[in-house]
């Protein structure tokens, strides 16, 4: 029996097979879910600042242990307002794993180039702590401020290698939720 040649159409451009497309789609769903569900635990450097969005950038922190065994977290984050409008209701919101939960009342210092921020919210969902700070005054158009913070407290559940902390800025007159920017205190 003789073999007959079967003509295979030539492809003029490479295109993925249906199987490759379905495989890529199956892998992208968990990645998209993870990217949107876990911003507080991602780590990144400086977040991109769009010319129209308020943003928290350049976070940094260190954790030390005091002679009494308390943990001291010292750091800073820059809040940028690249818009042409001053902020209204400016806040900085920190989100972190509940292992940062202090036992007792922490000693806290908050300052910035626009004055001392005030702690206005503290929520513990059981797995995530959210700390909200209100600005002492509003951030002018096309300006920035650096928030410096220091927190000293007994944190019995904080592991030696501290988990990531995320921060974002918000203003009541600026629609859209600015992106979280995360950092690992070291």
- 169-181 pLDDT, tens per residue? 999 998 766 788 8
> Does 1 fall in a domain?
no
> Does 151 fall in a domain?
yes
Query: Is a pLDDT exceeding 90 seen at residue 4?
Result: no
- 84-140 pLDDT, tens per residue? 999 999 999 999 999 999 998 899 998 898 998 999 999 999 899 999 999 999 999
> Does 163 fall in a domain?
yes
> Does 179 fall in a domain?
yes
Residue range 47-57: mean pLDDT, rounded = 66
| DSSP run (H or E) holding 34 | helix 18-37
d(CA 73, CA 89): 26
Q: The domain containing residue 147 runs over which residues? A: 42-183
Q: What's 116's domain CATH number?
A: 2.60.40
> Does 100 fall in a domain?
yes
Residue range 156-169: mean pLDDT, rounded = 89
> Does 16 fall in a domain?
no
> Does 102 fall in a domain?
yes
Residue range 149-171: mean pLDDT, rounded = 90
Number of domains in the chain: 1
d(CA 72, CA 16): 53
Tokens of 70: 């308390």
> Does 18 fall in a domain?
no
Give the global pTM. 0.69
Name beta bridge partners: 61: 75
């Amino acid at each position: 029996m003789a073999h007959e040649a079967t003509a295979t159409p030539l492809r003029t451009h490479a295109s993925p097979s249906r199987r490759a497309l379905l495989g890529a789609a199956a892998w992208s769903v968990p990645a998209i879910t993870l990217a949107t569900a876990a911003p507080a635990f991602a780590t990144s450097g400086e977040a991109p600042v769009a010319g129209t969005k308020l943003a928290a950038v350049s976070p940094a922190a260190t954790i030390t242990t005091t002679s009494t065994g308390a943990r001291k977290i010292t750091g800073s984050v820059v809040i940028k307002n690249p818009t042409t409008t001053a902020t209204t209701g400016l806040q900085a919101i920190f989100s972190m794993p509940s292992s940062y939960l202090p036992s007792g009342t922490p000693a806290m210092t908050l300052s910035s180039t626009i004055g001392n921020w005030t702690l206005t919210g503290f929520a513990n969902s059981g797995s995530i702590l959210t700390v909200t700070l209100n600005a002492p005054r509003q951030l002018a158009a096309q300006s920035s401020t650096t928030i410096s913070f220091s927190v000293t407290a007994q944190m019995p559940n904080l592991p030696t290698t501290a988990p990531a902390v995320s921060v974002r800025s918000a203003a009541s007159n600026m629609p859209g939720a600015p992106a979280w920017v995360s950092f690992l205190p070291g």
